[in-house]
Amino acid sequence: MTISILASSFVVLMCSSAIAGTIYSAPTLHALILDGALSTGDADKLKAAFEASPEKPTALFINSPGGDFYTAMAAGNWVRSMGLDTYAGLLCESACAYLWLGGVVQMAGGAPDVHPPAPAEPRYHVRARPDHEWTQVRRKPAGHRA
C-alpha cells in the first residue's frame, strides 16, 4: 500500500511543471511537497507547512529546477534535524540537490544534478583548445578583466 502511494506521488511530481515554487502538505502521504524553484523564504514556508500539518510529515517530495542555494542549504539542514526522508522526482537540479541531500534517507526518480554553487563573479576561468578539449584551469589574477 505504502509503495503504491509513493509511486503515485512520484508520477504527480514528475508530471507537474516546476516554474513557481509551491509548498504544501499531503497528509495522506504523511509528507510535504515542494514543487518549483527554491526562493528566499522557502525554508520558513517548509517549517510553517510542517507545523500546520494535521499529522506530522515523515518525508519531503521534491520537484525543482533549483534556485536559491542558501535557502536549499538551510532547508536541507532543517529537513535533517526533523528526521525527514527526501524523495526527488525526475527534476532535481542545482540547489535542489542540496535540499535532497538533507534527507535522512534519499530516494530519487531521476538523477539529481549536484554541482558547486556559481559565485556572483567567477574566480576561475578555463581556456579551451580549438577542438574544445579542456586544457587549463587557473586562478584569475587580481584586477583581471575578460
Instruction: Give the model's pLDDT for residue 145.
Output: 57
Cβ contacts of 92 within 8 Å, gap of 6 or more: 62, 63, 64, 100, 108, 110, 112, 113
To which residue does cell 535557502 refer?
Answer: 71
**pLDDT (0 to 100) of residue 121:** 54
Q: What is the pLDDT of residue 18?
A: 41
What pLDDT, in 10s, does the model give residues 11-30?
A: 444 444 445 589 988 988 89
Low-confidence ranges of the chain (pLDDT < 50): 1, 3-18, 125-129, 131-139
